[in-house]
Structure 1
Amino acid sequence: MRPRVVCGIAAAVALFATACGSGAGNGNGNGTAAADTAKAAPASGFPVKVADCAGKETTVTKAPTKIVTSNAASLEMLLRLGAGDRVIGTGFPPGKGTLPAELADQGAKVPVLGDKTIPKEKLLGSGADLYLDTFGAMPMMGGAATAPSEEEYAAAGIQHVQLLSTACAGTPKAAKAPRTDLAAVEDDLRRVGAVTGTAARAEELVTGMEQRIGEVRTALAAVPAEQRPSYFLFDFDAGTKQPTAVCGRQVANAVITLAGARNVFADCDADFKPGSWEDVVAKNPDWIQLAVRNRGSEDATRKAYDDAEAFLRSFPATQGLTAVQQGHFIRLGSEATTIAGVRNADAVRQIAATVHPDLVKPDTAKSGQ
């Protein structure tokens, strides 16, 4: 990946980090207290086999009791699955106000092992028996250069499990066709549920996602593909000098497609790719998503959205775009769109209700309940 994207897409992939280079500062950073009080894990349904991005299988013989998560995406997934009491540390901690209200207190108690990527020595010495990894070997997250080797994980007694829908999207073995559904995200939920002994809860979460997405799909069934509006996800935090294209392999492409829109960069064979404003102008999108990361407070996040919109309205290359002229902006954070999780289904509903208001109504129901 591209180094210049570190404070944009990387912040989204880090899911809910307050800002690049700053952390929540909660916890003591060593995970010891949480490890000492970790509850016993379920014993049924084991062994479980899971594969990494290269297809190499690992056998998990029992549910982990001391889990470290790479970032707030994997942390939120475990909290939703009911395994949060076994998490002893995380990297890229959630910023204030980013986790759902019902998970916020528990999430805030998880010790922070790294404001960004967890240092290798701290991860290996954490006492964890499982590391849930959103990033894999993503160079932009420092994964390829600084992550432990599989041999080092094994020597430390840590089983390494990846969220394949995110970690594998940019790898050579990833599916070449554009991603148009959330099956990979749902598979991640099921895999993590199996590994943690919370498979029944995982199925509940998947069922809820499928129900919400199914309602949108039914509502839009009669809309021909050529009548679906074009859509550009503007990652404001990646910088404005050169836009980042969110390509067909990315989770966001599935979210946009399911919402009844057409990602203008769906045809690039990658997850993310450096673009140009000339490319965006040539695509002339009908709608633009102002995808900013959560700033840790409602006022600060609102200002980030305002700043992103102001840039597009004032920048000579974009001020004449159809979406800009018509004020067709969607304020929807990077996290819910580009990172695997239950809230991808909410993002589908929000986009659909905005671009097809006559067919899909806004939904204020909470996800994952």
Structure 2
Amino acid sequence: MRPRVFCGIAAAIALFATACGSGGGGSSAGGDGTGGAGQSAASGFPVRVADCQGKETTVQQAPKRIVTSNAAALEMLLQLGAGDRVIGTGFPPGKGSLPAALAEQGARVPVLGAKVIAKEKLLGSGADLYVDTFGSMPMMGGAGAVPSEQEFAAAGIQHVMLLSTACAGTPKAAPAPRTDLSQVEEDIRRLGAVTGTAARAEELVTGMERQIAEVRTATAAVPADQRPSYFLFDFDAGTKQPISVCGRQVANAVITLAGARNVFADCDADFKPASWEDVVAKNPDWIQLAVRNRGTEEENRKAFEDAEAFLRGFPATQGLKAVQEGRFLRIGSEVTTIAGVRNADTVRQIAATVYPALVEKGR
């Protein structure tokens, strides 16, 4: 991700924050050194987790004071029931971006940084665990903005990454395109193991897999070459140059599982600047108006309307098939591009829109 993307989908990553498990049965957390979590039968600890390069960290006991790099990790911990142990976060959730049931608790988490948490503040936070959504992603400043492993150790902080996001743009990432949510599910399991909430993690993953399996079953008879093409329009990235959601991004898995074809799936990255000429050449069947949650239903409606109005009024996009036929999906950025439990809800929402005769709306 590039600095330019900060105001768009990557900013949504910041605000909130790709394949086996989804629809195919996820692997249980295991101590294989590849990012899974190994547990002893007696207490669940110690737990071993690996970073993007495979280097392991051993967590001896459930953490009591957790700091998260952004709201993606924060939401996972809230969903797992470990939110009462979170003592601070960077990139806090935007108003309205957390599920209603979690919003009040999420709002009580102290904000240690409006963006990346300053190194000194993070090391002095008193945390015993730091959950890192970014790792060495260039857009986050890389190692220059994050303490070294030696500094983490000296401060008594164990460093655990969300592999589905931190590794997406690295050489160690799975080859593009990502077509399922197994890494997201594994992150949920990893955090469940690390925080002693493994049973809850399994409940969440099982629910995701059940919902995705229903969609896949409903759309199974649609031939691959007849599945509609799909463009995720990141309105908040600006309209001068569109940002493509590429094959390594979690949204590619969401779109694929919903039975559509991401027009930029062959882009071997997570995000990449594109051009309107590229979009016109793809001529997508459907366009998702991906805007960040503004905090209220009225503000969100206005943002979606502005995004649609741009596409209808912009000379380069006026003639697109999706624009001419009004094939727009009003689905927010966060639940599509940010790794989390709600990715499965988005799969169903997309599928119910592009296949209304096959997939029912709702869970």
Taking structure 1 as the reference length, the TM-score comes to 0.90
- Which residue number in structure 1 is paired with residue 51 of structure 2? 52
How big is each residue's C-alpha offset from its partner over 1:36-67, in whole Å with a ceiling of 9 and x where there is no partner?
A: xxxxxxx9200111000111111111110000
CA distance in 2, matches of 1:339, 1:5: 14
- Which residue number in structure 2 is paired with residue 27 of structure 1? none
1:344-363 correspondence to structure 2 within 5 Å: 344-363=343-362
1:43-122 correspondence to structure 2 within 5 Å: 44-122=43-121
- Which residue number in structure 2 is paired with residue 9 of structure 1? 9
Taking structure 2 as the reference length, the TM-score comes to 0.91
Q: Equivalent residue of 2:204, what SS?
A: helix
User: CA shift at 1:146, angstroms?
Assistant: 1.1
Letter in 1 for 2:282: K
How big is each residue's C-alpha offset from its partner over 1:98-125, in whole Å with a ceiling of 9 and x where there is no partner?
A: 2112111111111111111111111111
User: CA shift at 1:16, angstroms?
Assistant: 4.1
- Which residue number in structure 2 is paired with residue 333 of structure 1? 332
Letter in 1 for 2:207: G
Letter in 2 for 1:169: A
Counterpart contact for 2:177–2:265, Cα < 8 Å: yes
Percent identity over the alignment is 83
CA distance in 1, matches of 2:138, 2:306: 29
Counterpart contact for 2:62–2:196, Cα < 8 Å: yes
CA distance in 2, matches of 1:161, 1:16: 17
CA distance in 2, matches of 1:15, 1:260: 28
1:229-308 correspondence to structure 2 within 5 Å: 229-308=228-307
Counterpart contact for 1:6–1:141, Cα < 8 Å: no
Counterpart contact for 2:294–2:300, Cα < 8 Å: yes
Pair 1:152 & 2:151 matched: yes
User: CA shift at 1:294, angstroms?
Assistant: 1.1
Letter in 1 for 2:268: D
Counterpart contact for 2:178–2:253, Cα < 8 Å: yes
How big is each residue's C-alpha offset from its partner over 1:270-303, in whole Å with a ceiling of 9 and x where there is no partner?
A: 1111111111000000000111111222222221
User: CA shift at 1:195, angstroms?
Assistant: 0.5
Point out where structure 1 has 5 or more consecutive residues left out of the alignment. Answer: 18-42
Counterpart contact for 2:304–2:330, Cα < 8 Å: yes
Q: Equivalent residue of 2:230, what SS?
A: strand
- Which residue number in structure 1 is paired with residue 198 of structure 2? 199
CA distance in 2, matches of 1:126, 1:143: 20
Counterpart contact for 1:15–1:339, Cα < 8 Å: no
- Which residue number in structure 2 is paired with residue 20 of structure 1? none
Counterpart contact for 2:80–2:201, Cα < 8 Å: yes
Pair 1:188 & 2:187 matched: yes
Letter in 2 for 1:201: R
CA distance in 2, matches of 1:10, 1:97: 18
Counterpart contact for 2:116–2:145, Cα < 8 Å: no
CA distance in 1, matches of 2:143, 2:327: 39
Letter in 2 for 1:15: L
CA distance in 1, matches of 2:87, 2:348: 34
CA distance in 1, matches of 2:209, 2:229: 24
User: CA shift at 1:224, angstroms?
Assistant: 0.4
User: CA shift at 1:97, angstroms?
Assistant: 1.9
CA distance in 2, matches of 1:304, 1:140: 25
Counterpart contact for 1:257–1:263, Cα < 8 Å: yes
CA distance in 2, matches of 1:121, 1:177: 36
CA distance in 2, matches of 1:232, 1:162: 29
Counterpart contact for 2:16–2:338, Cα < 8 Å: no
Letter in 2 for 1:107: G
CA distance in 2, matches of 1:234, 1:177: 20
CA distance in 1, matches of 2:112, 2:164: 24
Pair 1:323 & 2:322 matched: yes
CA distance in 2, matches of 1:162, 1:12: 18
